Amino acid sequence: MILTNHPRTRRLAFIGAVVLAAGLPAAPALASPPKPSKTPGAPTFTQVARFDVVGDVAEILAATKDGRTVLHTDSGGEQVGFVDISDPATPKASGAVAVGGEPTSVATTDRYALAAVSGPDDVAVIDLASRAVIARVPLSGQPDSIAVSPDGRYAAVAVENERDEDVDDGAMPQDPPGYLAVIDLKGAPTRWKAQQVDLRGLPGLRFPTDPEPEYVTINDRGVAAVTLQENNAVVLVDLKRAKVTGSFSAGAVTQAADLTDDKKVSFTEQLKDARREPDGISWTPQGRLITADEGDYDVDLTKGQYVGGRGWTLFDTRGGVVHTPGSSFEEAIAAAGLYPDGRSDNRGVEAEGTAVGVYARGADTDKNAATRHHHGHGKGHGVPLAFIGAERADAVVVYDISDERKPRLLQVLQTGDAPEGLLALPQRGLFLASGEGDGTISVYATR
């Protein structure tokens, strides 16, 4: 979700990463605050840079194959920006490419960057060598998210066709319906075409005629997982066949929470039957799914009802809940002194983005990298980590998911204002988070 109420401030800072309450103002007293794990060999992160991008904002992040150049969408500037992170401690602006509309997402192959562009409603194909748009793939509607398969063969675009908030107070369903676009990346980009995958009428959707896909991620088997946030659902699509293979409701949570904006942080109230309504989603190395349960559709709420799970969930591909942290996600953020109590009576910290990567044990930057890496996840014998962004808390919570049924809390990292894009670069021992609210990219290195 794009925020519109964050003031834009510009700054350039190089500060240490937050490990729970380290270096922060005194945190609220909690009955039994979560403690970071001391998993042997698990990497921890130190912030080495916070870079103020050239242009308006930094939203979704992607990287070149070598992990030395980061791309970011800049919706206000209608461009994709490039940042050189050859030296992670001293990022440098490296130009921008105008895409003729509002870029909502970007992903990369070995040779190209693919930007989903709202306005012309297409995918702009950028040649990474020449930094020029060399082709455009038309879409029938407004794109929100794009992903490229690990083997570089397919792209998937969540064409949201977002509802009009001024029509019937934003109530669903509305026309036209969204869908998933599948692009076969074989051959010359000028010949690429988008194939529509119909997401209507699937099991688990609250509004079967109006899917509104939000975010997409792809595993190494060419299966796309798509969140339908307002529908509180997840859909799986086989990209080779351009066919839906499964769907499920994300369900609801009942757990302890702070529901009162009273300048006190206390997780003693009860969040009841709150729809998860996930935004970001990532595949895990074991073939499961992690969702950031932000919540969004509040049109039909009655007094005392809430949406959003105030955390994240690890699902199997049939929708079974493998793990959920309950209130401990927000409690960890509170223990770090970052909990926004002013959001308690709304959706709390708003978990929005996810990223997963397999990092080397005790990795140093560039050397002893755990494994190959493709667009946010990897496989190998390192330590699999999950990163969950908390948009309203300006924080990312890091977990060791070696045991996916019992993830271990490792760190809470302080980010720029309103972290939007999360990018795991395990081949370089790096993690990055964009701050949509202040136009920064924070760079963290393993130690």
3 pLDDT exceeds 70?
no
Q: What is the mean pLDDT of the chain?
A: 90
- 334 within a domain of the structure (yes/no): yes
> For residue 407, what are the domain limits?
45-55+150-446
The pLDDT-based confidence of 300 (bands split at 50, 70, 90) is confident
What sign for the dihedral angle of Cα 16, 17, 22, 24? Answer: positive
Note the pLDDT of residue 115. 99
The pLDDT-based confidence of 30 (bands split at 50, 70, 90) is low
State both tokens at 331: 């409690």
* Distance of alpha carbon 49 from alpha carbon 353, whole angstroms: 20
- 303 within a domain of the structure (yes/no): yes
| Amino acid identity at 217 | T
- 268 within a domain of the structure (yes/no): yes
37 pLDDT exceeds 70?
no
The pLDDT-based confidence of 365 (bands split at 50, 70, 90) is very low
- 314 within a domain of the structure (yes/no): yes
CA distances 357 to 69, 100, 222, 373, 390, Å, are 18, 33, 18, 8, 18
20 pLDDT exceeds 50?
no
Average pLDDT over residues 40-60: 91
Note the pLDDT of residue 34. 72
- Total domains in the fold of the chain: 1
State both tokens at 219: 């595993």
Note the pLDDT of residue 42. 84
Nearest to 425 by CA among 397, 387, 396: 387
Note the pLDDT of residue 164. 80
Contacts of 356 (CB under 8 A, 6+ apart): 282, 283, 284, 285, 290, 376, 377, 384, 385, 386, 387, 401, 424
Return the biggest CA–CA distance within the chain. 60
Note the pLDDT of residue 289. 99
Q: Exposed, middle or buried by CB within 10 Å (0-12, 13-18, 19+), for 223?
A: buried
- 120 within a domain of the structure (yes/no): no
Contact by Cβ (8 Å): 234, 226: yes
Average pLDDT over residues 170-187: 95
Nearest to 246 by CA among 224, 278, 230: 224
The pLDDT-based confidence of 362 (bands split at 50, 70, 90) is low
Average pLDDT over residues 354-381: 60
- 430 within a domain of the structure (yes/no): yes
- 408 within a domain of the structure (yes/no): yes
Note the pLDDT of residue 25. 40
| Amino acid identity at 6 | H
CATH of the domain at 266: 2.120.10
Helix (H) and strand (E) counts for the chain?
Answer: 1, 32
Average pLDDT over residues 278-289: 98
User: Long-range CB contacts (< 8 A, 24+ apart) of 269-276?
Assistant: 271/306, 271/310, 273/305, 274/305, 274/306, 274/307, 274/308, 274/309, 274/310, 275/232, 275/250, 275/251, 275/307, 275/308, 275/309, 276/232, 276/250, 276/251, 276/252, 276/308, 276/309, 276/313
Q: Exposed, middle or buried by CB within 10 Å (0-12, 13-18, 19+), for 179?
A: buried
Average pLDDT over residues 346-368: 80
Compute, in degrees rounded to 10, the torsion defined by CA atoms 50, 78, 391, 25.
30
368 pLDDT exceeds 50?
no
Lowest mean pLDDT among 59-73, 223-237, 255-269: 255-269
19 pLDDT exceeds 90?
no
Which residues is 183 bridged to in the sheet? 155, 194
